[in-house]
Structure 1
Amino acid sequence: MSKRIKELDSIRGLAAITVVIGHFCLMLPSLPDSIKFSPLRFLWAGGEAVIIFYVLSGFVLSMAIYHSKTNYWGYLIKRFVRIYIPYYVWIFITFALFILFSPYEVTGLRDWYYDKWQGPITGLDIINHLVLLNNFFSDNYNPVIWSLAQEMRISIVFPLLFLLFYKQSWKKTILLAMSFSFISIFLNILHIGKAEGFYNGYADTLHFTSMFMVGMLLFKHQEELVRLYRNMKKLKRRLLITLGVILYLYSTGLLLISRSDTMFLLKDWGVVIGVSILIIMAMSNLKVKAILNKSVFVYLGEISYSIYLCHFPIMMVLFKLLYTKIPISLLFLLCVTTAILFSSVSYHFIEKNCIKWAKQRTIKFQKNV
C-alpha cells in the first residue's frame, strides 16, 4: 500500500492540537483531579500525543523505505531537509521572540511556565540547538525540541533497523523493542547517556526507538490487522476500542503509583498499545475513516509539524502580553488560532518548498534496479 493514508495524517494533526492544549494547561494553575483525569483528558494529553508521533513515524518511514526508489543517502537528505530546515527557521524566530519579550513579567502561572525562557542565549545554546543530535538541556526555549532530537537520531538508524527486522516475526520484533526499553532503563539507572533535559538522553533514544518499531509492525501487518478488526463481532470491537482509550488516557496513572523508571516504561508501553489499537480502528472503521478524511482534519495533519514547532513561542508571547488582561477562554482561542495561522504560513512557504527541493536533489541517489 504505497498511497498516503489520510486518516493517519489527520491523527497526527489532532495529536499536535492536543500538545498545544496540553502546554496551555501546563501554564495555568493546576486543574482539579476530577477534570484532570476525566475523559476530557483526551484534549490535552500532550505526552501521549508524542508517542502517537513516534508510532506514526515508524509506520510512515517504513512505508517510505519499502516503496523508496532512492538509496540511504537520498533517504537521509530528505529526512534532514524535512526536519531541520523548518526547525532552524522556528528556533531562530524563537530566539528573537525570547530576546524581545522575555523581560515582560507575568504572575499567577504555574512553575512550569517560569522554568522557561530563563537566562541569556549563549553561544553554546546556539551550537547545541543547531546540532540538535547531541545530549543537551533542550527545555528552556522550546520544550518540544527533545522529541525532535530523538526523532532525528532514530531516523538516521531506522533504515538499518528496517533491513534487519522487517522480515522477522512480530513476536521477535516486539521482544526486541521491549528489550530496547529495558536497556534504556538500565542505562539511566547507571547514569550512562542520561538526559541533560527532558528525555533528551541517548539512553532514552533506545526506549523511543521501540515505538518506531511498533509503527513498523503496524505498517507490515496493516492489511491483516484491518481484516481482523473488521471480522470481529461488534461487542468485541467496542471492548477493544474502550481498552485502547483507557490505555491511552490512563496509563499515566502508573506514574502516580511510583516515580520509578520501571513505571515510566510501563506507562509508555501502555500508551503504545492504546495508540496501536486506535490507529488500527482509524484505518478499519469506515465511519471513523470518513470523519478523519475530511479536509479540515487532513489539513491539520499537513501543517502538524509547523504547529508543533511554533505554538510554544507564540503562546509564551501571548501569555506575557495578555494574561489577566483578557478572559482565559479568549486567550486560549487566540493561542490556538494564532498557532494554526502561523503554521499554515510556515507549511506553505517553508515545508512544501523543503519537500520539493529534497525530491529534486535526490534523483541522483536512485537505486540501481
Structure 2
Amino acid sequence: MRRETELDAVRGIAALIVMFFHFWLIVPDGWKTHAYVTHMMGVSLTPEMLFHFTPLRLLVSGSGAVGLFFVLSGYVLSLSVARQRMTSYGRFIVRRIFRIYLPFAIVVLFSAALLPLVKTAPLHGVSDWFANEPWSVYPTEQVVAGHLLMIGTIPLISLDNPMWSLIIEMRVSLIFPILFILMEKYRNETLACVTAAYFCSSIFLNRLGENPPTTFMHSVIFTFEYLPLFVVGILFYQFRDRIGGFYGSTRPVIRNVIMPLAVLLLGTPTIGPENAVGIMKNLIWIVCTTIGSVSMICIAINNEKIRSFLQKSHMQGLGHISYSLYLSHMVVLLVMAYTLLDHMSLWRWGALSLPVCVMVAAVCFWFVESPCMRAGYWLTRRRYLKPELAG
C-alpha cells in the first residue's frame, strides 16, 4: 500500500477552513446581516445568506471540516495499524500521545502564559463570541490543569477553543486498535453497538441541553456522538478497493458532477453535535458529513488531476503544518486581536492574520510538532527488527 500523501493536503485544506470559520465568527453580527446587494431578483443579499445558503458555505464550515478530520483519522489510522501488524497497543498509544497530546500541551501552556500579558483590556469591534468566550477564564493552576487533563467542559477549553475536537481525537485513539480489530472480526455487531451508542448519547445530551457538555462524564458521553465518523474511516479502509473500482467504472457525470456536489454536503447549514440543535438536526449533520467526507477522500485518492494537484509541494507543505495550524491559529488570533485591533481596522487585521497564522504554524511544526513525533518514534523503535520491518 502506497502512502497516500494527497490526504495530507486534504487535511491542510480542512485546517484552513477551520481557520476561515473562526475569522467568520470574529466578524461582528451587524456586518453579516447588512444587505450590501439589494433588489437582486427581489432579494436582498447579505453575507450571512451568501455564506449559509450558497456553496461559499463550505469555506466557513468549521463543523464539516472537523467531521472530515475524524473520517480521515479513522482511515489513516486503519492504514497504519494494518501496515504494522506487529505494533503493540502500548507502542501505538505512546506514538499517539507524542503526536497529538504533547504539541497540544505545549500550545496550551503558551496560551496560558500569554493571556495575562496580552489581555489588558476588553475587545471592541468584534463579535460577542470572540469578545467573551476565548480566553474567558484566567489561567489559574486549576484551570491549566483542567485543560491539560482534557476534561472537555466549556470553561476548560477557553485557552484554545479548537481543543474540544482534539479531546475527542485523543479519547478515540485510546480505543482505536480495539475498535479496528472489532470492525474486522465482528463488523455488523460493532456497527450496531456504535450506532446505539451514538443515538443514546445524542438523546441524553440533547434532552439535558448540554451540547457542549458541562461535566466530565457528559464530556465522555459527548465523545460517542462523533465515534461513527471514525468508524466510517475504518469502513472506507476496508472497502477502499471496491470504492476505487466503483469510482473508476461510473459514468463521467457521477465522477465529475454528483460526487463534487456531494462534497458540498460538508458545508450543510445545520451544525454539528457541539451545539444543542436537536437530535434530528444532529443526525442530518452526521449523515451529510459522512457522505461529503467519503466523497472528498474518494476524489482525492482516485481522481488523477486532483491527486496530482494535492501532491504539489505547496499543498504538501500545507498538509505538513495542518495540525500545527489547527492547534495554534486561535492563540495567534487572540494575541493579534488584543495587541493590534486598537490600531487598525478589522479588515486590515484579518488580512495580516492569515499569513501570520500560517507562519506561526510552520514554526510550531518545526520546533514543536516534528520533534515530538520524532521522540515518539525513537521511544517506540524496535531495535531487533530489520529496518524495512520497523516502519
Question: Structure 2-normalised TM-score?
Answer: 0.85
Q: Tell me which residue corresponds to 2:103.
A: 86
Q: Tell me which residue corresponds to 1:155.
A: 173
Q: Which one is further off, 42-51 or 8-17?
A: 42-51
CA distance in 1, matches of 2:384, 2:66: 32
Q: Tell me which residue corresponds to 1:348.
A: 366
Post-superposition Cα deviations, 1:305-334, rounded to whole Å, max 9, x if no partner, equal 111111001101212222263344432232
Q: Tell me which residue corresponds to 1:63.
A: 79
Give the direction of change, closer, same or farther, for the CA distance of 1:89–1:254 in structure 2 (3 Å limit).
closer
Q: Which one is further off, 116-125 or 185-194?
A: 185-194
Q: Does structure 1 residue 313 correspond to structure 2 residue 318?
A: no
Q: How many pairs are equivalent?
A: 364
Give the direction of change, closer, same or farther, for the CA distance of 1:177–1:242 in structure 2 (3 Å limit).
farther
CA distance in 2, matches of 1:55, 1:315: 27
Shift of 1:152: 0.6
Q: Does structure 1 residue 275 correspond to structure 2 residue 293?
A: yes
Give the direction of change, closer, same or farther, for the CA distance of 1:254–1:93 in structure 2 (3 Å limit).
closer
Post-superposition Cα deviations, 1:90-142, rounded to whole Å, max 9, x if no partner, equal 11111122111111333121111122222422222111112115656333221
Q: Tell me which residue corresponds to 1:236.
A: 254
Please, which of 42, 48, 54 is the counterpart of residue 33 of structure 1? 48
Q: Does structure 1 residue 326 correspond to structure 2 residue 325?
A: no
Q: Tell me which residue corresponds to 1:303.
A: 321
The 8 Å contact of residues 13 and 300 in structure 1, kept in 2 or not, is answered as yes
CA distance in 1, matches of 2:285, 2:194: 15
Give the direction of change, closer, same or farther, for the CA distance of 1:160–1:311 in structure 2 (3 Å limit).
same
Shift of 1:350: 1.8
Give the direction of change, closer, same or farther, for the CA distance of 1:174–1:294 in structure 2 (3 Å limit).
farther
* Percent identical: 28
Structure 2 counterpart of 1:89, one-letter code: I
CA distance in 1, matches of 2:271, 2:92: 39
Shift of 1:356: 1.5
Structure 1 counterpart of 2:248, one-letter code: R
CA distance in 2, matches of 1:301, 1:117: 28
Q: Tell me which residue corresponds to 1:139.
A: 157
Q: Does structure 1 residue 100 correspond to structure 2 residue 99?
A: no
The 8 Å contact of residues 18 and 44 in structure 1, kept in 2 or not, is answered as yes
CA distance in 2, matches of 1:264, 1:340: 32
CA distance in 2, matches of 1:100, 1:158: 40
Question: Structure 1-normalised TM-score?
Answer: 0.90
CA distance in 2, matches of 1:48, 1:198: 25
Structure 2 counterpart of 1:223, one-letter code: D
Structure 2 counterpart of 1:286, one-letter code: E
Please, which of 178, 182, 193 is the counterpart of residue 199 of structure 2? 182
Q: Tell me which residue corresponds to 2:142.
A: 124
Post-superposition Cα deviations, 1:231-288, rounded to whole Å, max 9, x if no partner, equal 1011122343244133222252799xx9313312321221121111111111111111
**RMSD of Structure 2 on Structure 1 (CA):** 2.7
Give the direction of change, closer, same or farther, for the CA distance of 1:48–1:306 in structure 2 (3 Å limit).
same
Q: Which runs of 5+ in 2 are unaligned?
A: 33-46
CA distance in 2, matches of 1:356, 1:155: 19
Post-superposition Cα deviations, 1:50-101, rounded to whole Å, max 9, x if no partner, equal 1111111111111111112320000010011111211111111111221111
CA distance in 1, matches of 2:108, 2:268: 33
The 8 Å contact of residues 137 and 158 in structure 2, kept in 1 or not, is answered as no
Q: Which one is further off, 44-53 or 121-130?
A: 121-130
Q: Which runs of 5+ in 1 are unaligned?
A: none
Give the direction of change, closer, same or farther, for the CA distance of 1:294–1:174 in structure 2 (3 Å limit).
farther
CA distance in 2, matches of 1:109, 1:243: 33
The 8 Å contact of residues 311 and 335 in structure 1, kept in 2 or not, is answered as no
Q: Tell me which residue corresponds to 1:259.
A: 277
Q: Tell me which residue corresponds to 2:228.
A: 210
